[in-house]
Structure 1
Amino acid sequence: MSIGPVQLIVLGFRHPDFHGEVIAELERLRQSDAVRVIDALAVYKDAKGEVEVEHLSNLSTEEAIELGSKVGALIGLGIDGEEGLEAGAALGAEAAADGVQIFDDEQAWDVIATIPDDSAAALLLIEHHWAVPLRDAIARAGGFRLADAFVSPLDLVAIGLVTAQEAEMLDGLERASATAP
Protein backbone atom coordinates (compact mmCIF):
# COMPACT_ATOMS: atom_id res chain seq x y z
CA MET A 1 0.00 0.00 0.00
CA SER A 2 1.34 3.39 -0.98
CA ILE A 3 0.85 6.25 1.44
CA GLY A 4 0.48 9.75 0.11
CA PRO A 5 2.60 12.67 1.23
CA VAL A 6 2.00 13.33 4.92
CA GLN A 7 1.94 16.80 6.44
CA LEU A 8 1.92 17.94 10.07
CA ILE A 9 -0.06 21.16 10.49
CA VAL A 10 0.09 23.03 13.80
CA LEU A 11 -2.69 25.57 14.34
CA GLY A 12 -2.67 27.88 17.36
CA PHE A 13 -5.73 28.91 19.40
CA ARG A 14 -6.14 31.39 22.26
CA HIS A 15 -9.58 30.12 23.34
CA PRO A 16 -10.26 26.89 21.47
CA ASP A 17 -13.52 25.06 21.05
CA PHE A 18 -12.26 21.80 19.57
CA HIS A 19 -15.61 20.07 19.94
CA GLY A 20 -17.58 22.18 17.48
CA GLU A 21 -16.57 23.27 14.02
CA VAL A 22 -13.05 21.82 14.14
CA ILE A 23 -14.27 18.28 14.89
CA ALA A 24 -16.99 18.60 12.22
CA GLU A 25 -14.43 19.69 9.63
CA LEU A 26 -12.07 16.85 10.58
CA GLU A 27 -14.96 14.43 10.04
CA ARG A 28 -15.74 15.99 6.64
CA LEU A 29 -12.09 15.64 5.61
CA ARG A 30 -12.08 12.03 6.77
CA GLN A 31 -15.06 11.30 4.53
CA SER A 32 -13.31 12.91 1.56
CA ASP A 33 -10.94 10.76 -0.45
CA ALA A 34 -8.66 13.69 -1.31
CA VAL A 35 -7.08 13.83 2.15
CA ARG A 36 -7.10 11.64 5.20
CA VAL A 37 -6.67 12.88 8.73
CA ILE A 38 -4.31 10.27 10.13
CA ASP A 39 -4.34 11.76 13.59
CA ALA A 40 -5.25 14.95 15.41
CA LEU A 41 -4.29 16.14 18.88
CA ALA A 42 -5.27 19.14 20.96
CA VAL A 43 -2.36 20.37 23.05
CA TYR A 44 -3.17 22.82 25.86
CA LYS A 45 -0.33 24.80 27.42
CA ASP A 46 -1.02 26.65 30.67
CA ALA A 47 0.56 29.95 31.74
CA LYS A 48 3.51 28.04 33.26
CA GLY A 49 4.09 25.98 30.11
CA GLU A 50 2.63 22.75 31.49
CA VAL A 51 1.15 20.60 28.71
CA GLU A 52 -2.10 18.63 28.55
CA VAL A 53 -2.97 16.49 25.53
CA GLU A 54 -6.39 15.46 24.22
CA HIS A 55 -7.18 13.38 21.16
CA LEU A 56 -9.25 15.19 18.52
CA SER A 57 -11.21 12.37 16.99
CA ASN A 58 -14.16 10.08 17.38
CA LEU A 59 -11.88 7.22 18.49
CA SER A 60 -12.14 5.74 21.95
CA THR A 61 -9.16 6.19 24.29
CA GLU A 62 -8.09 2.59 23.58
CA GLU A 63 -8.36 3.09 19.80
CA ALA A 64 -6.46 6.36 20.08
CA ILE A 65 -3.66 4.64 21.96
CA GLU A 66 -3.55 1.70 19.53
CA LEU A 67 -4.23 3.45 16.22
CA GLY A 68 -4.28 7.17 16.53
CA SER A 69 -1.26 8.27 18.51
CA LYS A 70 0.83 8.95 15.42
CA VAL A 71 1.26 12.69 16.07
CA GLY A 72 2.43 11.99 19.62
CA ALA A 73 4.91 9.41 18.39
CA LEU A 74 6.15 11.77 15.66
CA ILE A 75 6.84 14.68 18.01
CA GLY A 76 7.76 12.69 21.12
CA LEU A 77 4.56 13.37 23.04
CA GLY A 78 2.92 10.15 24.16
CA ILE A 79 -0.90 10.08 24.28
CA ASP A 80 -0.49 7.10 26.60
CA GLY A 81 1.89 8.93 28.94
CA GLU A 82 5.31 7.43 29.59
CA GLU A 83 4.35 4.10 27.94
CA GLY A 84 3.37 5.89 24.73
CA LEU A 85 6.63 7.82 24.69
CA GLU A 86 8.63 4.63 25.20
CA ALA A 87 6.68 2.84 22.45
CA GLY A 88 7.44 5.70 20.02
CA ALA A 89 11.13 5.61 20.92
CA ALA A 90 11.20 1.83 20.42
CA LEU A 91 9.64 2.17 16.94
CA GLY A 92 12.21 4.82 16.02
CA ALA A 93 15.07 2.60 17.21
CA GLU A 94 13.65 -0.33 15.23
CA ALA A 95 13.49 1.79 12.06
CA ALA A 96 17.09 2.93 12.57
CA ALA A 97 18.19 -0.70 13.04
CA ASP A 98 16.52 -1.51 9.71
CA GLY A 99 18.70 1.11 8.00
CA VAL A 100 16.14 3.93 7.93
CA GLN A 101 17.94 7.22 8.46
CA ILE A 102 16.25 9.05 11.33
CA PHE A 103 16.84 12.80 11.46
CA ASP A 104 19.12 14.16 14.16
CA ASP A 105 18.43 16.74 16.89
CA GLU A 106 19.51 19.64 14.66
CA GLN A 107 16.82 18.71 12.12
CA ALA A 108 14.11 18.17 14.74
CA TRP A 109 11.14 20.52 14.96
CA ASP A 110 10.18 21.18 18.58
CA VAL A 111 6.45 21.50 17.96
CA ILE A 112 5.58 21.92 21.64
CA ALA A 113 8.01 24.86 21.95
CA THR A 114 6.18 26.69 19.15
CA ILE A 115 2.93 26.71 21.15
CA PRO A 116 2.78 29.89 23.28
CA ASP A 117 2.10 29.54 27.00
CA ASP A 118 -1.56 30.02 27.98
CA SER A 119 -2.86 28.84 24.61
CA ALA A 120 -3.61 25.66 22.71
CA ALA A 121 -2.85 24.05 19.38
CA ALA A 122 -4.46 21.54 17.10
CA LEU A 123 -1.86 19.20 15.63
CA LEU A 124 -3.17 17.57 12.46
CA LEU A 125 -1.34 14.78 10.68
CA ILE A 126 -2.80 14.71 7.19
CA GLU A 127 -2.15 12.35 4.28
CA HIS A 128 -2.67 13.94 0.87
CA HIS A 129 -4.22 11.16 -1.27
CA TRP A 130 -4.59 13.52 -4.23
CA ALA A 131 -0.81 13.98 -4.38
CA VAL A 132 0.18 10.30 -4.78
CA PRO A 133 0.12 10.25 -8.62
CA LEU A 134 1.93 13.59 -8.78
CA ARG A 135 4.58 12.51 -6.26
CA ASP A 136 5.14 9.24 -8.13
CA ALA A 137 5.45 11.04 -11.48
CA ILE A 138 7.98 13.45 -9.97
CA ALA A 139 9.99 10.54 -8.55
CA ARG A 140 9.98 8.74 -11.92
CA ALA A 141 11.32 11.93 -13.49
CA GLY A 142 14.15 12.01 -10.94
CA GLY A 143 12.64 14.81 -8.87
CA PHE A 144 12.48 15.21 -5.12
CA ARG A 145 11.08 17.64 -2.53
CA LEU A 146 13.42 20.41 -1.49
CA ALA A 147 11.02 22.40 0.70
CA ASP A 148 7.37 23.24 1.24
CA ALA A 149 5.38 25.85 3.15
CA PHE A 150 2.03 27.58 3.30
CA VAL A 151 2.11 31.00 1.65
CA SER A 152 0.78 34.03 3.54
CA PRO A 153 -2.30 35.66 2.03
CA LEU A 154 -0.35 38.95 1.91
CA ASP A 155 2.24 37.35 -0.38
CA LEU A 156 -0.49 36.23 -2.77
CA VAL A 157 -1.33 39.84 -3.64
CA ALA A 158 2.03 40.32 -5.36
CA ILE A 159 1.30 37.49 -7.78
CA GLY A 160 -2.31 38.44 -8.38
CA LEU A 161 -4.07 35.46 -6.77
CA VAL A 162 -6.02 37.60 -4.30
CA THR A 163 -6.81 41.28 -4.01
CA ALA A 164 -5.23 43.40 -1.32
CA GLN A 165 -8.62 43.64 0.39
CA GLU A 166 -9.05 39.83 0.39
CA ALA A 167 -5.51 39.34 1.70
CA GLU A 168 -6.02 41.89 4.48
CA MET A 169 -9.25 40.17 5.50
CA LEU A 170 -7.63 36.69 5.56
CA ASP A 171 -4.52 37.95 7.34
CA GLY A 172 -6.72 39.88 9.79
CA LEU A 173 -8.63 36.70 10.64
CA GLU A 174 -5.38 34.88 11.40
CA ARG A 175 -3.89 37.76 13.41
CA ALA A 176 -7.09 38.47 15.34
CA SER A 177 -7.21 34.87 16.51
CA ALA A 178 -3.52 34.95 17.42
CA THR A 179 -3.77 38.15 19.49
CA ALA A 180 -7.25 37.82 21.02
CA PRO A 181 -7.21 37.87 24.82
Structure 2
Amino acid sequence: MAIGPVQLIVLGFPRPEFHGRIAAELERLHASGAVSVVDALALYKDPEGEIEITHLSTLSDEEAKEFGSTVGALIGLGIEGEAGIEPGAEAGARAAADGVTAFSDEEAWDVLEEIPNGSAAALVLLEHQWAIPLRDAIAEAGGFRISDGFISPLDLVAVGLLTADEARQQHALETATADAR
Protein backbone atom coordinates (compact mmCIF):
# COMPACT_ATOMS: atom_id res chain seq x y z
CA MET A 1 0.00 0.00 0.00
CA ALA A 2 1.40 3.41 -0.97
CA ILE A 3 1.00 6.07 1.66
CA GLY A 4 1.62 9.79 1.43
CA PRO A 5 3.78 11.85 3.76
CA VAL A 6 2.50 11.47 7.33
CA GLN A 7 2.54 14.14 10.05
CA LEU A 8 1.73 13.94 13.75
CA ILE A 9 0.10 17.10 15.05
CA VAL A 10 -0.23 17.53 18.82
CA LEU A 11 -2.83 20.10 19.88
CA GLY A 12 -3.16 21.28 23.49
CA PHE A 13 -6.38 22.27 25.23
CA PRO A 14 -6.26 23.71 28.77
CA ARG A 15 -10.06 23.45 28.98
CA PRO A 16 -11.39 21.74 25.88
CA GLU A 17 -14.62 23.12 24.54
CA PHE A 18 -15.27 21.03 21.46
CA HIS A 19 -18.22 21.95 19.30
CA GLY A 20 -17.45 19.70 16.32
CA ARG A 21 -15.64 22.33 14.27
CA ILE A 22 -12.26 20.54 14.31
CA ALA A 23 -13.81 17.22 13.24
CA ALA A 24 -15.82 18.99 10.55
CA GLU A 25 -12.69 20.64 9.15
CA LEU A 26 -10.83 17.32 9.09
CA GLU A 27 -13.81 15.77 7.28
CA ARG A 28 -13.79 18.63 4.75
CA LEU A 29 -10.07 18.17 4.11
CA HIS A 30 -10.57 14.42 3.71
CA ALA A 31 -13.46 14.91 1.28
CA SER A 32 -11.32 17.27 -0.80
CA GLY A 33 -8.58 14.63 -1.06
CA ALA A 34 -6.05 16.83 0.72
CA VAL A 35 -5.52 14.72 3.83
CA SER A 36 -6.64 11.54 5.48
CA VAL A 37 -6.76 11.01 9.24
CA VAL A 38 -4.74 7.84 9.80
CA ASP A 39 -5.40 7.81 13.53
CA ALA A 40 -6.26 10.16 16.37
CA LEU A 41 -6.11 10.05 20.15
CA ALA A 42 -7.47 12.40 22.76
CA LEU A 43 -5.87 12.33 26.14
CA TYR A 44 -6.16 14.02 29.48
CA LYS A 45 -3.12 14.43 31.69
CA ASP A 46 -4.24 15.02 35.28
CA PRO A 47 -2.40 17.40 37.64
CA GLU A 48 -0.15 14.52 38.79
CA GLY A 49 0.69 13.51 35.21
CA GLU A 50 -1.48 10.38 35.03
CA ILE A 51 -2.88 9.85 31.53
CA GLU A 52 -6.37 8.85 30.33
CA ILE A 53 -6.76 8.09 26.63
CA THR A 54 -9.71 8.02 24.25
CA HIS A 55 -9.30 6.76 20.69
CA LEU A 56 -10.75 9.18 18.15
CA SER A 57 -11.03 8.46 14.51
CA THR A 58 -12.95 9.10 11.36
CA LEU A 59 -11.71 5.76 10.02
CA SER A 60 -14.15 3.13 8.87
CA ASP A 61 -14.20 -0.11 10.89
CA GLU A 62 -12.13 -1.78 8.14
CA GLU A 63 -9.54 1.05 8.14
CA ALA A 64 -9.38 1.01 11.94
CA LYS A 65 -8.55 -2.72 11.88
CA GLU A 66 -5.84 -2.10 9.26
CA PHE A 67 -4.15 0.81 11.04
CA GLY A 68 -4.86 -0.09 14.67
CA SER A 69 -3.74 2.44 17.24
CA THR A 70 -0.94 3.94 15.19
CA VAL A 71 -0.55 7.13 17.24
CA GLY A 72 -0.25 5.13 20.45
CA ALA A 73 2.41 2.93 18.87
CA LEU A 74 4.35 5.98 17.63
CA ILE A 75 4.48 7.61 21.04
CA GLY A 76 4.91 4.38 23.00
CA LEU A 77 1.51 4.49 24.65
CA GLY A 78 -1.25 2.00 23.99
CA ILE A 79 -4.94 2.73 24.08
CA GLU A 80 -4.91 1.25 27.58
CA GLY A 81 -3.03 4.34 28.83
CA GLU A 82 0.21 3.95 30.70
CA ALA A 83 -0.35 0.18 30.79
CA GLY A 84 0.21 0.29 27.03
CA ILE A 85 3.75 1.63 27.34
CA GLU A 86 5.31 -1.79 27.87
CA PRO A 87 3.53 -3.50 24.94
CA GLY A 88 4.39 -0.47 22.77
CA ALA A 89 8.04 -0.70 23.78
CA GLU A 90 8.02 -4.44 23.06
CA ALA A 91 6.57 -3.83 19.58
CA GLY A 92 9.28 -1.24 18.96
CA ALA A 93 11.96 -3.67 20.14
CA ARG A 94 10.64 -6.34 17.75
CA ALA A 95 10.74 -3.84 14.88
CA ALA A 96 14.30 -2.84 15.79
CA ALA A 97 15.32 -6.52 15.89
CA ASP A 98 13.96 -6.80 12.36
CA GLY A 99 16.20 -3.92 11.29
CA VAL A 100 13.53 -1.21 11.46
CA THR A 101 14.77 1.88 13.30
CA ALA A 102 12.98 5.20 13.23
CA PHE A 103 15.48 7.38 15.10
CA SER A 104 18.02 7.39 17.90
CA ASP A 105 17.23 8.16 21.54
CA GLU A 106 18.85 11.58 21.06
CA GLU A 107 16.43 12.37 18.23
CA ALA A 108 13.33 11.06 20.01
CA TRP A 109 10.39 13.42 20.51
CA ASP A 110 8.77 12.85 23.90
CA VAL A 111 5.26 13.95 22.99
CA LEU A 112 3.77 12.99 26.34
CA GLU A 113 6.35 15.01 28.27
CA GLU A 114 5.44 18.16 26.32
CA ILE A 115 1.76 17.99 27.28
CA PRO A 116 1.24 20.04 30.45
CA ASN A 117 -0.23 18.34 33.51
CA GLY A 118 -3.87 19.27 34.06
CA SER A 119 -4.63 19.68 30.36
CA ALA A 120 -5.99 17.76 27.39
CA ALA A 121 -4.44 17.08 24.02
CA ALA A 122 -5.50 15.74 20.65
CA LEU A 123 -2.90 13.79 18.70
CA VAL A 124 -3.83 13.58 15.04
CA LEU A 125 -1.84 11.54 12.54
CA LEU A 126 -2.48 12.95 9.07
CA GLU A 127 -1.56 11.51 5.71
CA HIS A 128 -0.93 14.35 3.27
CA GLN A 129 -2.51 12.86 0.15
CA TRP A 130 -2.00 16.08 -1.80
CA ALA A 131 1.77 15.60 -1.44
CA ILE A 132 2.00 12.12 -3.00
CA PRO A 133 2.45 13.31 -6.60
CA LEU A 134 4.93 15.99 -5.46
CA ARG A 135 6.91 13.48 -3.38
CA ASP A 136 7.00 11.05 -6.30
CA ALA A 137 8.11 13.77 -8.74
CA ILE A 138 10.90 14.80 -6.37
CA ALA A 139 12.05 11.18 -6.02
CA GLU A 140 11.96 10.67 -9.81
CA ALA A 141 14.17 13.74 -10.17
CA GLY A 142 16.66 12.23 -7.69
CA GLY A 143 15.66 14.54 -4.85
CA PHE A 144 15.03 13.79 -1.21
CA ARG A 145 13.68 15.48 1.93
CA ILE A 146 16.35 17.08 4.07
CA SER A 147 14.09 18.72 6.65
CA ASP A 148 10.63 20.14 7.19
CA GLY A 149 8.64 22.11 9.72
CA PHE A 150 6.05 24.80 10.20
CA ILE A 151 7.29 28.39 10.10
CA SER A 152 6.22 30.70 12.91
CA PRO A 153 4.17 33.70 11.79
CA LEU A 154 6.76 35.87 13.57
CA ASP A 155 9.43 34.66 11.15
CA LEU A 156 7.30 35.71 8.17
CA VAL A 157 7.60 39.38 9.07
CA ALA A 158 11.27 39.46 8.08
CA VAL A 159 10.48 38.24 4.58
CA GLY A 160 7.51 40.57 4.13
CA LEU A 161 4.68 38.02 4.05
CA LEU A 162 3.02 39.43 7.18
CA THR A 163 3.03 42.71 9.02
CA ALA A 164 4.26 42.68 12.63
CA ASP A 165 0.67 43.12 13.88
CA GLU A 166 -0.64 40.27 11.69
CA ALA A 167 2.19 38.02 12.85
CA ARG A 168 1.58 38.76 16.52
CA GLN A 169 -2.14 38.01 16.10
CA GLN A 170 -1.51 34.72 14.26
CA HIS A 171 1.23 33.70 16.69
CA ALA A 172 -1.13 34.36 19.62
CA LEU A 173 -3.83 32.21 17.98
CA GLU A 174 -1.37 29.35 17.46
CA THR A 175 0.34 29.39 20.83
CA ALA A 176 -1.79 31.06 23.50
CA THR A 177 -3.72 29.08 26.04
CA ALA A 178 -7.41 29.73 26.54
CA ASP A 179 -6.56 31.86 29.61
CA ALA A 180 -4.58 34.29 27.46
CA ARG A 181 -7.34 34.80 24.88
Same fold (TM over 0.5): yes
Q: Please tell me the residue identity of whatever aligns with 2:116.
A: P
Q: 1:95 is matched with which residue? A: 95
Counterpart residue number, 2:44? 44
Q: Which moved more, 1:170-179 or 1:120-129?
A: 170-179
Structure 1 vs Structure 2 CA RMSD:
2.9
Match of 1:3 in 2: 3
CA deviation map 1:14-39 (0-9, x unaligned): 11134522222232233231111111
**Which piece of structure 1 moves more, 107-116 or 53-62?**
53-62
- Does residue 148 in structure 1 map to residue 148 in structure 2? yes
% identity of equivalent residues: 67
**Letter in structure 2 aligned against 1:134:** L
- Cα distance in structure 2, aligned partners of 1:178 and 1:151: 22
Work out whether residues 18 and 56 of structure 1, in 8 Å CA contact, stay in contact via their aligned partners in 2. Answer: no
1:69 aligns to 2:32 (yes or no) = no
Q: Report SS of the residue matched to 1:43.
A: strand
Q: Distance in 2 between matches of 1:60 and 1:46?
A: 31
C-alpha contact 1:40 1:71 (8 A) present in aligned 2:
yes
Aligned length: 181
SS in 1 for 2:27: helix
Match of 2:111 in 1: 111
CA distance in 1, matches of 2:119, 2:125: 20
2:59, 2:165 → 1: CA distance?
41
Structure 1: runs of 5+ lacking an equivalent? none
Task: Find the residue that maps to 1:55 and give its secondary structure.
Answer: strand
CA distance in 2, matches of 1:80, 1:65: 17
**CA drift at 1:87:** 5.2
**TM-score scaled by length of structure 2:** 0.83
**Counterpart AA for 1:16:** P
1:54 aligned residue: 54
Aligned residue number for residue 24 of structure 1: 24
**Contact preservation (8 Å) 1:65, 1:79:** no
- 1:125 aligned to 2:160? no
TM-score, with length taken from structure 1: 0.83
Q: Distance in 1 between matches of 2:86 and 2:62?
A: 17
SS of residue in 1 equivalent to 2:11:
strand
Secondary structure of 1:160's counterpart equals coil
1:117-163 CA-partner distances (Å, limit 9, x unpaired)? 11111111011111112112222233222221111111112212222
